Structure 1
Amino acid sequence: MSFPWAKQYEPKHPLMRFLDEKLPMPRLVYNAIGSGYPVPRNLNYMWNFGVLAGFCLMLQIVTGVVLAMHYAANTQVAFGTTEHIMRDVNWGWMMRYMHANGASAFFVVVYLHIFRGFYYSSYKAPREMVWLLGVVIFLLMMATAFMGYVLPWGQMSFWGAKVITGLFGALPVVGEPIQIWLLGGYAPDNAALNRFFSLHFLLPFVIAAVVILHIWALHIPGSSNPTGVEVKSESDTIPFHPYYTAKDGFGLGVFLILYFAMVFFLPNYLGHPDNYIEANPISTPAHIVPEWYFWPFYAILRAFTADIFFGLIPAKLMGVLAMFSAILCWFFLPWLDKGPVRSGHYRPLFRKFFWFGLIPTMLVLFYCGGAPAEEPYVMLSQLATAYYFLHFLVILPIISSIEKPEPLPYSITEAVLGKDEAAQLGDSADTAK
Structure 2
Amino acid sequence: MSEHLKTNNALIKWIDHRLPVFSMMNETLVDYPAPKNLNYWWNFGSLAGFALVVMIVTGIVLAMQYTAHVDYAFNSVERIMRDVNGGWLVRYIHMNMASFFFIVVFIHMFRGLYYGSYKSPREILWMLGVVILLLMMATAFMGYVLPWGQMSFWGATVITNLFSAIPVFGESIVVWLWGGFSVDNPTLNRFFALHYLLPFVIVGVVVMHLWALHRFGSNNPIGIEANGHQDKIPFHPYYTVKDAFGVGVFLLAFSGFLFFAPNFLGHPDNYIPANPLVTPAHIVPEWYFLPFYAILRSIPDKLLGVVAMFASIGILFILPWLDRSPVRSAKFRPVYKWFFWLFFANCILLGWVGQEAAEGLPLILGRLATAWYFIHFLVVLPLLGVMERPKPLPVSISEPVLSGGGGLAAAAAKPMEKA
Short-chain TM bin: over 0.9
Which residue in the other structure is 1:68 paired with? 63
| 1:410 and 2:406 correspond | no
Which residue in the other structure is 1:330 paired with? 316
Which residue in the other structure is 1:424 paired with? none
| 1:278 and 2:273 correspond | yes
The 2-side partners of 1:31 and 1:402 are apart by 42
The 1-side partners of 2:3 and 2:284 are apart by 52
Which residue in the other structure is 2:365 paired with? 380
The answer to whether the 8 A contact 2:5-2:23 is kept is: yes
- Alpha-carbon RMSD: 1.4
The 1-side partners of 2:253 and 2:317 are apart by 32
Gaps of 5+ in 1: 1-5, 306-314, 421-433
Q: CA deviation at 1:197?
A: 0.1
Q: What SS does structure 1 have at the residue aligned with 2:240?
A: helix
| 1:103 and 2:98 correspond | yes
The 2-side partners of 1:409 and 1:335 are apart by 25
Which residue in the other structure is 1:10 paired with? 6
Which residue in the other structure is 1:320 paired with? 306
Which residue in the other structure is 2:25 paired with? 29
Deviations 1:396-415 (Å, cap 9, x if unpaired)? 01101111110111101112
* Range that drifts further, 11-20 or 384-393: 11-20
Amino acid at match of 2:208: L
Q: Runs of 4+ in structure 1 displaced over 6 angstroms?
A: none
Deviations 1:256-283 (Å, cap 9, x if unpaired)? 0000111100000011110000000010
The equivalent position to 2:297 in structure 1, one of 296, 302, 320, is 302
Amino acid at match of 1:326: S
The 2-side partners of 1:399 and 1:89 are apart by 57
Q: CA deviation at 1:370?
A: 1.1
| 1:397 and 2:396 correspond | no
Q: CA deviation at 1:43?
A: 0.3
Deviations 1:175-197 (Å, cap 9, x if unpaired)? 11001001101211000000000
Gaps of 5+ in 2: 406-419
Which residue in the other structure is 2:149 paired with? 154
The 1-side partners of 2:286 and 2:352 are apart by 12
The answer to whether the 8 A contact 1:31-1:37 is kept is: yes
Which residue in the other structure is 2:284 paired with? 289
The 1-side partners of 2:404 and 2:68 are apart by 64
The answer to whether the 8 A contact 2:295-2:366 is kept is: yes
The equivalent position to 1:350 in structure 2, one of 306, 319, 336, is 336
Q: What SS does structure 2 have at the residue aligned with 1:223?
A: coil
Q: What SS does structure 1 have at the residue aligned with 2:216?
A: coil
Deviations 1:104-161 (Å, cap 9, x if unpaired)? 0000000000000111111111111110100000000000000000000000000000
Which residue in the other structure is 2:172 paired with? 177
Q: What SS does structure 2 have at the residue aligned with 1:351?
A: helix
Amino acid at match of 1:335: W
The 2-side partners of 1:9 and 1:358 are apart by 46
The 2-side partners of 1:9 and 1:410 are apart by 33
Which residue in the other structure is 2:415 paired with? none
Deviations 1:33-65 (Å, cap 9, x if unpaired)? 11x111000001100000000000000000000
Q: How does 1:61-140 map to 2 (within 5 A)?
A: 61-140=56-135
The answer to whether the 8 A contact 1:11-1:20 is kept is: no
Question: Percent identity of the aligned residues?
Answer: 58
Q: CA deviation at 1:7?
A: 8.4
The 2-side partners of 1:321 and 1:220 are apart by 34
Which residue in the other structure is 2:188 paired with? 193
* Range that drifts further, 365-374 or 57-66: 365-374
Amino acid at match of 1:166: N
The 1-side partners of 2:99 and 2:246 are apart by 17
Amino acid at match of 1:343: S
* Range that drifts further, 368-377 or 131-140: 368-377
- TM value normalised by structure 1: 0.92
Which residue in the other structure is 1:339 paired with? 325
Q: CA deviation at 1:9?
A: 2.3
Amino acid at match of 1:379: I
The 1-side partners of 2:34 and 2:312 are apart by 33
| 1:163 and 2:158 correspond | yes
- TM value normalised by structure 2: 0.95
Deviations 1:221-257 (Å, cap 9, x if unpaired)? 0011000110112110111000000000000000000
The answer to whether the 8 A contact 2:298-2:358 is kept is: no
Q: CA deviation at 1:419?
A: 6.6
The 2-side partners of 1:73 and 1:419 are apart by 61
The answer to whether the 8 A contact 1:119-1:344 is kept is: yes
